[in-house]
A and B are shown apart, each in its own frame.
Chain A
Amino acid sequence: MDLVKTDSKNIYYPPGGILLWVIIFLELFTFGMALVAMVIYSKDEPKIFHNSRLLLNTTFGLANTVFLLTSGFFMAKSVQSFKANNSKKSSLYLKLTMLGGFFFLLLKSIEYYEKIAVGLSIGYNTFFTFYWMLTLFHVIHVIVGLVILSSVYFSLNKKNKSVALEDFEASATFWHLCDLIWLLLFPLIYLIF
């Protein structure tokens, strides 16, 4: 049974806080509009977009999706344990969450290295301009998310627990935002064109 409750049913208190949800929608609209622009540009150069998409490693994209979804699962479990006042479990799940994020960054680095090695840089063509801008912007979110989660992790492991539920939920919501953005990017960049 959860020992701590928040009033999520109130319109002003969505899980993670209203400010974060405003940011989530701004981010989703920004990435969404960029992807719509990508689709519009693909109309002018359908062959280039198709051939460029084939140069991407779908397995890497798929593995990165698995890493982020699994990481999101551990984040949800961590919040659940935190609400049940089980700091030890919450801390363990938080570590696993961050591990998923690190695996994502590691694989993304390998992918970027491969692309740069064969000359598929940001100026190669329109498809790769979108690819680099969107995925790098997402990577920045993941790095910021990891910094936030590390800060929560260290606070959680202090002798006198000093993390408020609202802060913990807000950090978790930001981490899930990274999942959501990647779920937008993955099908369009790696699969559709």
Chain B
Amino acid sequence: MKNPKYFKVLVSLLILTILSAFVVRLNIGLKAASAIILALFMLKFLGVAFYFMELKKAHVFWKSAVIIFVLLFSTIILVGL
């Protein structure tokens, strides 16, 4: 059974990870860099949860719970920095 879906997700996650490490080297200020890093973090987190953990197939309650958590966490961190 061949399914390139997981491989595409992995490549995307690795690219996002490398991008987040490069953002630190940019001279764009702490707030802007943090916002970009947190945005990339959210994408990676949701990528793992929805594809690798197959949350995409789960009830809307679980999908919403994960999205709310990740949004809440990132917002609190960004405001707190």
Interface residues of A (CB under 8 A from B): 1, 8-11, 14-16, 21, 25, 28-29, 32, 35-36, 39-40, 42-43, 58, 62, 65-66, 69-70, 72-73, 75-77, 79-81, 84, 86, 172-173, 176, 179-180, 183-184, 186-188, 191-192
Q: A15, B57: Cβ atoms under 8 Å?
A: yes
Q: Contact partner of A35 among B7, B24, B77, CB < 8 A?
A: B77
Binary CB contact string for chain B from 32 to 74 against chain A (1 if under 8 A, 0 otherwise): 0110011011001100110111110111011001000100010
Q: Is B28 an interface residue (CB 8 A)?
A: no
With a cutoff of 8 Å between Cβ atoms, the chain A residues found around residue B3 in the complex are 80
With a cutoff of 8 Å between Cβ atoms, the chain B residues found around residue A25 in the complex are 65, 69
Q: Can you name 22 A-B residue pairings with CB atoms under 8 Å?
A: A1-B1, A9-B58, A11-B59, A11-B61, A14-B58, A15-B55, A36-B76, A39-B81, A42-B81, A62-B21, A69-B48, A76-B6, A176-B52, A183-B45, A183-B48, A187-B37, A187-B40, A191-B20, A191-B23, A192-B30, A192-B34, A192-B37
Interface residues of B (CB under 8 A from A): 1, 3, 6-7, 9-10, 13-14, 17-18, 20-21, 23-24, 30, 33-34, 37-38, 40-41, 44-45, 48-49, 51-55, 57-59, 61-62, 65, 69, 73, 76-77, 80-81
Count of A-B contacts judged by CB separation below 8 Å = 115
With a cutoff of 8 Å between Cβ atoms, the chain B residues found around residue A43 in the complex are 80
Shortest beta-carbon distance from B62 to chain A in Å: 5
With a cutoff of 8 Å between Cβ atoms, the chain B residues found around residue A65 in the complex are 17
Q: B1, A179: Cβ atoms under 8 Å?
A: no
In angstroms, Cα B48 to Cα A172, docked, is 12
Contacts A35-B77, A40-B80, A176-B49 aside, 17 further interface pairs with beta carbons under 8 A come to: A14-B55, A15-B54, A32-B69, A36-B73, A36-B77, A39-B77, A39-B80, A42-B81, A58-B24, A73-B6, A79-B54, A80-B3, A86-B1, A179-B48, A184-B45, A184-B73, A186-B41
